């Protein structure tokens, strides 16, 4: 998790990998038990859910993929899935277009305002989605139906919901590079602002941008609260409605969302590890 890279594996001793582990053998058993218990708590429900989607609750003993394969034929499945995917795409796009230049500018020109912007980006945490949904009804009463009654309002609001982790991700990425120096170098070589941003800054914060984007997509795919309260149709909403009729369909669709999110997040994790590997080994000499 930490970007602790030891360049010579020969010299990385167990003692530096964890505090004072040279003469402790007893806790290992206890730790294994603890880890097993937690593993059980987290895996059994997933197993149960997958089993359920494979028809495990039916009287006839066999497992079947019929629910999964039949999913595509469920009424509303494809349309709503497409809708959610489009919303996710739109959210990611808008999020990055808004935040990447903003964060870059913040780091470059207004570093003393970082705290303030961070605070602003944490606001969505202080204002629960339920409340935001409530507020939308009130605040945007006079807005055209084309926006408030469609996926657009969702895209616009999901960007807000994504702000907290987006800020964190981009802030980390921008802090880890010599931003000012790079930009000054680019500008002195004649690059315009958009070119600098696109060709110099973004490639160097690739992982952070990807991270933020992917997390935004995961959020948009799974978001239920606002869509539900605004009576809009997205895939999670459809899942809930389908659930009223058929638990198997609902659970299966949920597992689909889960798998999609999981895949996305694995991507993020892979990116994170890749970036960690690139950190200069010279800077880690604390053996």
Partner 1 sequence: MSAPSVELVKLSRSFGGVAALDGLDLTVEPGTLTCLLGPSGCGKTTALRIIAGLEHSDGGEVRVAGQDVARIPANKRDMGMVFQSYSLFPNLDARDNVAFGLRMRGWNAAKRRERAGELLELVGLSAHTDKYTHQMSGGQQQRVALARALAIEPRVLLLDEPLSALDAVVRVQLREEIRSLQTRLGITTVFVTHDQEEALSVSDQVAVMRAGRLEQCAAPAEVYADPATAFVAEFIGTMNRLPGTLSADGQTVEVAGRRLVVRQGGTEAGPRSGGEVTVLIRPEAVRLEPAEDGTATVRQAGFRGPITRITAVLPDGTEVLSDVPSASAAELVPGRAAALVLDDAPVMVF
Partner 2 sequence: MTASAPADVPAGVGEPAPAAAASRLRPAGVRAGRGRAGSARRTRRTRPADLLGLAPFAAYVAVFLGAPAYAVITAAFKDDSGNATLANVTTTLKDPYRHAFFVSIELSVLSAVLGAVLGLALAIAVSGAKRDGFVHRAVTTASGVLAYFGGLPLAFVFLATLGPQGLVTKWLNSAGYNLTQHGFVLWNMAGLVLVYLYFQIPLMLLVIFPALDGLRPQWEEAARSLGASRWQYWLRVGGPLLAPPFLGALLLLFANAFAAYATAYALSTGSVPLVPIQIGSVMSGNVLAGQENIGNALGLWMIVVVGLVVVAYTLLQRRTARWLR
**Minimal distance, residue 233 CB to partner 2, in Å:** 14
136 binds, among partner 2, partner 1, none (CB under 5 to 8 A by kind): partner 2
Q: Which is nearer to partner 1, 145 or 286 (CB)?
A: 286
Binding to partner 1 by residue 26, rule CB under 8 A?
no
Longest Cα–Cα distance in the chain: 74
3 binds partner 1 (CB under 8 A): no
Selected from 11, 19, 145, 146, the binder of partner 2 by CB under 8 A is: 19
Contacts by residues 61-64 (CB-CB < 8 Å, ≥ 24 positions apart): none
Considering CB distances under 5 to 8 angstroms, the limit depending on partner class, which of partner 2, partner 1, none binds residue 74? none
- CA distance from start to end of the chain: 18
Stretch that binds partner 1, among 10-18, 32-40, 109-117, 201-209 (CB under 8 A): 10-18
Q: Choose among 279, 243, 280: nearest CA to 74.
A: 243
Q: Residue 185 and residue 189: Cα distance in Å, rounded?
A: 6
Q: Please tell me whether residue 31 binds partner 2 under the rule CB under 8 A.
A: yes
Residue 205 in contact with partner 2, rule: CB under 8 A: no
Which one of residues 81, 215, 217, 232 is an interface residue with partner 2 (CB under 8 A)? 215
Q: Does 147 bind partner 2 (CB under 8 A)?
A: no
Q: Does 9 contact partner 1 by CB under 8 A?
A: yes
197 forms part of the interface with partner 2 (CB under 8 A): no
Residue 92: is it exposed, middle or buried by C-beta count within 10 angstroms (0-12/13-18/19+)? buried
What is the distance between the alpha carbons of residues 178 and 219, in angstroms, rounded to a whole number? 31
Regarding 229 and contact with partner 2 (CB under 8 A), the answer is yes
- The answer to the question of residue 25 lying near partner 1 (CB under 8 A) is no
Torsion of CA 218, 45, 63, 245, to 10 degrees: -70
Q: What is residue 191's three-state secondary structure?
A: coil
Residue 55 φ/ψ region, left for φ over 0, alpha for ψ in the -120 to 50 degree band, beta for the rest: left
With H, G, I as helix, E, B as strand and everything else as coil, classify residue 103.
helix
Is residue 280 within the footprint of partner 1 (CB under 8 A)? no
Give the separation between CA 118 and CA 5, rounded to whole angstroms.
29
Contacting range for partner 1; rule: CB under 8 A; set: 12-20, 27-35, 102-110, 180-188: 12-20
Q: Using CA atoms, how far apart are residues 246 and 20, in angstroms rounded to an integer?
A: 54
Interface with partner 2 by CB under 8 A: which range of 65-73, 80-88, 196-204, 273-281? 273-281
* Binding status of residue 287 toward partner 1 by CB under 8 A: yes
Residues making contact with partner 1 (CB under 8 A)? 8-13, 15, 20, 22-23, 285-287
């Amino acid at each position: 998790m930490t970007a602790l890279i030891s360049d010579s594996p020969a010299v990385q001793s167990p003692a530096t990998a964890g505090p004072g582990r040279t003469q402790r053998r007893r806790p290992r058993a206890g730790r294994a038990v603890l880890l097993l218990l937690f593993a059980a708590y987290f895996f059994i429900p997933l197993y149960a859910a997958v089993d359920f989607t494979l028809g495990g609750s039916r009287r006839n003993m066999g497992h079947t993929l019929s629910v999964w394969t039949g999913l595509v034929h469920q009424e509303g499945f494809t349309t709503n899935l497409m809708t959610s995917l489009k919303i996710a795409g739109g959210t990611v796009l808008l999020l990055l277009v808004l935040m990447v230049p903003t964060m870059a500018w913040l780091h470059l020109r207004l570093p003393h305002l970082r705290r303030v912007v961070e605070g602003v980006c944490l606001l969505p945490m202080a204002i629960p989605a339920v409340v935001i949904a409530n507020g939308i009804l009130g605040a945007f009463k006079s807005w055209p139906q084309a926006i408030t009654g469609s996926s657009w309002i969702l895209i616009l609001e999901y960007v807000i919901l994504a702000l907290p982790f987006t800020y964190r991700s981009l802030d980390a990425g921008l802090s880890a590079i010599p931003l000012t120096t790079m930009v000054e170098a680019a500008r002195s070589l004649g690059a315009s602002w958009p070119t600098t941003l696109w060709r110099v800054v973004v490639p160097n914060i690739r992982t952070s941008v990807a991270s933020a984007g992917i997390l935004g997509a995961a959020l948009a795919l799974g978001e239920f609260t606002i869509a539900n309260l605004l009576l809009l149709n997205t895939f999670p909403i459809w899942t809930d409605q389908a659930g009223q009729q058929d638990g198997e369909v609902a659970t299966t669709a949920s597992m689909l969302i889960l798998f999609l999110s999981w895949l996305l997040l694995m991507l993020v994790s892979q990116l994170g590890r890749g970036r960690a590997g690139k950190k200069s080994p010279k800077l880690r000499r604390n053996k």
